[in-house]
Structure 1
Amino acid sequence: MKAESEILEVKSFFDGKKLHDKGPYTILVSNGRYHSILKGTADENFLNLMDAFRHGKVVRKLGNFIMPSMVESHCHIFLDGDELDAQKRSAYLKSPREKLVETAWRNIEKYRAKGIRTIRDAGDIHGINNGLRDILKNSDMTVISAGRGIRKKKRYGSFMAHEVEDSCDIRDAIKKIAETADTVKIILTGIIDFENGTVKDPFQFDADEMRLIVEISHSLGLKTFVHCSGKDGLRIAVESGVDSIEHGFFMSEDILEQMALKKIAWSPTFIPVHFQYAFPEYCGWNPATVDKLNAILENHSIHLCKAHKMGISILAGSDGGSYGVKHGEGLFEELALMRKAGLPHDAVLNAATLAPREHFGLASNAISIGNKADYICLEKFPLA
């Protein structure tokens, strides 16, 4: 028989915005929603809880820490983040679709096991992301899918984006994407040249093209998010009015000011670059390159803290599936790096719970009276 009520007795909890660490606390869940949140143990609050026992079976749970279920704001669900052999990773991209789908399902289970129940997939040339979203529609997992992204012909992003050449192509591509996707992913710049500490290649779309992409996407009811690093690309992205910046390395304060003004969110994705810094032996980096990687990360940390102080919405995304980034585990590593950068505890956890849900237009799952009880129990505070 399904319990009508749950009594959760915890040492601490994060409600989605604020950490409550002066426990114990007792939280009553009735008919799947938060009914009351009380200071003290369940025994100390027995009189306040008596009514729950009138309405059927009650399950009592003890735990150290609970928080709303988590959100991964940037991943590529069909990629294998566990594989570190470059040749094997390259060969994998040419695998039969069935193998890619098998990997994607394994990755879904990795997220579920970590309490990460909402995932934004940031582009997949095969459309596996759309398929997973549809199958999981009525489950405990939510996939927000970009379907295929959009990139310039013969430029970076072949594994995740459709090629376009001109404005006519852009219009046709976005209309096609909008038929099945939940959001539009734009590949504006290339990857980082770590040895030289710069972004490879010029930006893919000019200012007029970017404005066109954003305008058409918004007219079709879709938000945009853009793969972008380097000041030139970032400036074009911000001027076009995109909804969120992905990666955003080589950020500057003047660009952040414009992001704050236009309410553009930021998913900083520390982990892929940090992996290269922490494990240079996998990439063959020499000490000079490691120093450049460290400088890139330090600049990123400084601007993340500035973004927070400016009120910019931070969306925690690990870029799961990219080199050195395991699905599920990667998000927790990303949160640890955001905390190390100087972001307050509350802001870090908000970036993996309520902030992305609000940005994606999903209902709040804050631990608040009346809300649906969509929580996870952890043995300890995740940023301890």
Structure 2
Amino acid sequence: MKPLNQNVYNFNAGPSALPTAVLENAQQELTNFQSTGMSIMELSHRSKTYENVHNEAITRLKKLFSIPENYEVVFLQGGASLQFAMIPMNFLPKDTKAGYIMTGSWSEKAFKETTFFGEAYHVASSKEDQYRYIPEISASSFHENDAYIHLTSNNTIYGTQWKEFPETGQVPLIGDMSSDIMSKPIDVSKFDLIYAGAQKNLGPSGVTVAIIKKEFIEKANNDVPTMLDYQTHIKSNSLYNTPSTFGIYMLGEVLKWIELQGGLNAVAANNEEKAKLIYDAMDESNGFYVGHARKDSRSLMNITFRLQNDELEKKFLAEAVEEGFVGLNGHRSVGGCRASTYNAVPQEACLALSEFMKQFQQKNG
């Protein structure tokens, strides 16, 4: 049961597992990157060597994610949490409203930040059912003159995920994809802005990716502090100030790894297989394990569930740690259990967890 080829089975929700091959390559290059005699962390961000790393990461991201030519890619800092404020600062005029689709804690946080800068409203919400599902959206759910509609594509705490994104017509659509970006192919052209913290599927914490439609940028408010203005970072190729050079290097290496897996179609198929192993153990348990998310809204990235009582849950989590499983505790705000099965979590780990779940049920059911 215990892992054979690594120290633990890492199911942390973020920062999360990174591909072993990427970590090993970074280890080899750590003290002497490309024969410079220096670590990537010691290189000037203005150097040609680092500039190549930086630009290759952007190019690789555009290619893998099929980002259209009329979009810009920028690397920022401050995580998705800073984006919650930057977006209304740049794109919410005083005479309009922003619509937020409420599917969990992160959409709540994004909504709260928006109210400091302008008017926002709830397009739809599943809060009344403890965020167990993704609400349905139609044209009557929002206003034609809204500044934008915002959604969170995957909800790490509650374990729900959008399967099909809503059609918003002429109203710009913005997506926080921090926890499922690059886990499957999507139609980027449906969105005017996509943003994501890197620490789930793209690399270590410290880098935030923003993918922005050029026509949307043209509508941005120009009366914004320099560092909070997207145009500052677009015009400087994300090099206005010192970026997270090591984080961007690692992001590029993770993208190379995704290419070696066969691209996003192959990654998506693997993610479905991994999640199925754990969901099957839940569904076949006759109620011993109870999933939080409604079946039609289940996430392939964060699998949330409860056991029949708190004592049994504590025992499950304690024994899981003994068997080498890390990060299975649910978020502190909701409790329970959560297995985060991001791209770099190997199928071996998910199979081991499903077997552990079955064995634990046999002993305690």
TM-score range, shorter chain: under 0.3
Q: TM-score, normalised by structure 1?
A: 0.24
Identify the structure with the greater strand proportion: 1
Q: Which has the higher contact order (CA 8 A, sep 6+)?
A: 2
Q: TM-score, normalised by structure 2?
A: 0.25
